[in-house]
Amino acid sequence: ALVTETSVLDPEEGIRFRGYSIPECQKMLPKAKGGEEPLPEGIWWLLCTGDIPNEAQTTAIRYFR
């Protein structure tokens, strides 16, 4: 398996981001209203912090300049 600090690629389990599988990320990360997939800001938060963000944290990234 290829291991980095933020992700793992295993031929059996697939890609993991900070320990979460893609289906887990799709389920737990914030989505846009009416959306089905996680917002990129939520994935960015997860990769940077290792934590699942709440909506306020996701919004903060979106408007941070």
Q: What is the pLDDT of residues 1-57, one digit of tens each?
A: 555 567 778 888 889 999 999 999 999 999 999 999 999 999 999 999 999 999 999
pLDDT given for residue 7 in this prediction: 74
Q: pTM, whole model, 2 decimals?
A: 0.80
| Beta-carbon count within 10 A of 45 CB | 21
pLDDT given for residue 2 in this prediction: 56
- What is the dihedral angle through the alpha carbons of 54, 34, 16, 18, rounded to the nearest 10 degrees? -10
Buried b (16+ CB within 10 A) or exposed e, 11-31: eeeeebbbebeeeebeeebbe
